Chains A and B, each alone.
Chain A
Amino acid sequence: MADMAAKNADAPLFLVEDVHFSYEGAPALAGATLSVERGERVALLGANGSGKSTLLKMLDGLLFPDRGRIGFMGQELSEATLRLDSFSREFRRRVGFVFQNADAQLFSPTVRDEVAFGPLHLGLPDDEVERRVEDTIHILGLGHLKERAPYHLSGGEKKRVALASVLAINPDVLLFDEPTAGLDPKTSSFLVSLAGDLHEAGKTIITATQDLSIVGDIADRALVMGEDHRLAGEGPPAAVLADRELLLRANLIHDHPHRHGGVEHYHPHSHVEGHEHGH
């Protein structure tokens, strides 16, 4: 693997070229093109149904394009390559995916088994598995939940277990699908700062979100998915967030009438950022 990494040192981590995908005729991606470099922090913004989750699943080798290509460090990600034992094992060790729906990700009898699932299935020796499980559970503050069943946990705890189950693999690339959706402010700021630490440790982090308030904290580059299932724009978070016209087009914010002291007016409005203004 080491020489493969060396050989592809200059290839981007992910290269997505004109990717199309549809679910039983319903389009989810219609010509997405982008690339992500190693060590980058990227936010993927887009309204519901714009295809963010689909794109992340493709980056994780769980879905494959109907048309177009996806490259990972210079190698094509396809059903055929992932069927190769050595490739898929190495790929799964390098790329971790935290699903939006924690219930889908937590399928094991106990928190401990859940965290051990990845390392065990990726062929780590038993004592190494044990060590990683203990450490991950510790840094995520799940010690007291170790023997608990996932269905007993609260939403925030589930999210932390889901995160632990991925971090125990120690992936180099982390894909987060709407990590803060439905979480209380404390848990979401915990996640945001953990993502910061992981980035500092050199990991590549790609986050799909609609939560405009966290974009500045989790990304150095923002990509905007339009409702036409293609990339509508990209740039540094500050620039993208300032581009009202782009955000409106992507349906991330919307115009609607407000009445303030009898004055009716329209203004662009995002429901995730508070909405204070004086009149």
Chain B
Amino acid sequence: MHIPDGYISPQTAGGLWALVVPAWYAAGYKVRRTLDARQAPLIAIGAAFTFIIMMFNIPLPGGTTGHAVGGTIVAIVIGPWAAVIAVSVALAIQALFFGDGGILALGANCFNIGFILPVTGYLTYRLIARGAAEGSARRWIAAGVGGWTGLNLAALLTAVVFGLQGELYTAADGSALYSPYGLATAIPAMMVPHLAVAGVVEAVMTSLVYIFLQRTNPALLQNYKTARAGGESRFELRPLIIGLALLLVCTPIGLLATGTAWGEWGADEVADEVGYVPEGMDRYAGAWTGLLPDYGFPAGEEGESLGEGAAETAGVVSVDAARKSAPAYLVSGVVGLALASVAALLSARFLFRGRQEGNRG
């Protein structure tokens, strides 16, 4: 799900830097208030953990392997705000010290994978697990659903970022300057394999780790709660949800704004360029899942194999390729993003509310 440099325009990259910096400041502020000086080693080692488990090959059905990001389980243990910094640090190290993942695109990656993923994953977990007993099944299910939701929202945002490139940035002759596909292609190509494969890997691993910790180290799962009780600040859901919703809405609009401001980059020529038939390309596009090339691993070790697994599914899905204007795509992107997050959170909440009350009664 990493965006390497070269796929996105400098304006997009800059826009996402502008979004992630305040997110970091907010996280830093929250962490300072809850964790005091203890934050540095806790976050650092949380980040190292994230980095290492991204290298764990998880066997998938059909003989292929994938890997988990682990943002949600880290958020559960060290808290969502600390996790934002930890995952961002892990991404920064991949980009800066290992030359993997973009440097200009680091802001985008940190926003999607470092911010959206752990925070929405944690929120989902909290909403579903609220009131459940420590050792209960509902807790590990909540963790799994959180992992799935967080990963897919991050993937959706990444897909929107990719898709905007195809919509907005074309040379005078109509050739693509960056990632060549529009939203109508990028979103399904990215989302189908993530919803079906990568998200499931994340969910299964998050749940399994959670179960393991419930059995062997339950105190660790209470760690953040304890730290929070000690600190002055509480994790409040409402401002966070509002903030997230605002950010989700602002992202594509902000990108569009920067795009048009740079008029010469051809936002006006864009609308004509859209009109794709997805068959044929989805075969390859399925391989987006593997957009996490690992450190110097032989090519295709996981990216392609994972992609192949998903390709069949990807091929089935069709997109409304009727010619639409770029703004319409943008609106659909924003609405889709917002709807998906709200739906995931609400459905999770309602699904389990009945059970929760049942348990009490």
Contacts and interface: CB of A to CB of B under 8 A. Distances in A.
Direct contact between the two chains A and B in their complex (CB within 8 A) = yes
Interface of A: 24, 107
A107 B219 contact: no
B41 interface: yes
A209 to B, nearest CB: 26
Contacts of B219: 24
B333 to A, nearest CB: 42
3 contacts: A24-B219, A107-B41, A107-B44
A60 to B, nearest CB: 16
Contacts of B41: 107
Contacts of A24: 219
Contacts of A107: 41, 44
A24 B222 CA distance: 12
Interface string B33-77: 000000001001000000000000000000000000000000000
Nearest to A104: B41
A229 to B, nearest CB: 20
Interface of B: 41, 44, 219
A107 B41 CA distance: 9
Give 3 closest A-B pairs by Cβ, nearest first: A24-B219, A107-B41, A107-B44
A107 B48 CA distance: 12
Where chain A touches its partner, the secondary structure class is: loop
B155 to A, nearest CB: 34
Nearest to A23: B219
Nearest to B41: A107
Nearest to B40: A107
Nearest to B45: A107
A153 B41 CA distance: 21
Nearest to A24: B219
A107 B44 CA distance: 10
Nearest to B226: A24
A107 B219 CA distance: 25
A13 B41 CA distance: 31
Contacts of B44: 107
A225 B219 CA distance: 28
A278 B44 CA distance: 55
A99 to B, nearest CB: 13
A162 to B, nearest CB: 16
A141 B44 CA distance: 30
A41 B198 CA distance: 59
A36 B313 CA distance: 73
B217 to A, nearest CB: 11
B336 to A, nearest CB: 44
A24 B41 CA distance: 21
A172 to B, nearest CB: 25
A107 B42 CA distance: 12
Nearest to B44: A107
A110 to B, nearest CB: 14
A186 B41 CA distance: 33
A176 B41 CA distance: 22
A40 to B, nearest CB: 32
A161 B342 CA distance: 53
A107 B45 CA distance: 11
A47 B41 CA distance: 29
A24 B218 CA distance: 12
A24 B219 CA distance: 9
B35 to A, nearest CB: 16
A244 to B, nearest CB: 39
B202 to A, nearest CB: 29
A49 B178 CA distance: 60
A209 B219 CA distance: 29
A24 B223 CA distance: 12
A115 B44 CA distance: 20
A112 B41 CA distance: 20
A107 B47 CA distance: 14
A139 B225 CA distance: 46
A24 B44 CA distance: 24
A119 B44 CA distance: 22
A212 B41 CA distance: 34
B134 to A, nearest CB: 14
A28 B41 CA distance: 24
A137 B310 CA distance: 56
B43 to A, nearest CB: 13
A103 to B, nearest CB: 11
A24 B217 CA distance: 12
A70 B44 CA distance: 32
B257 to A, nearest CB: 40
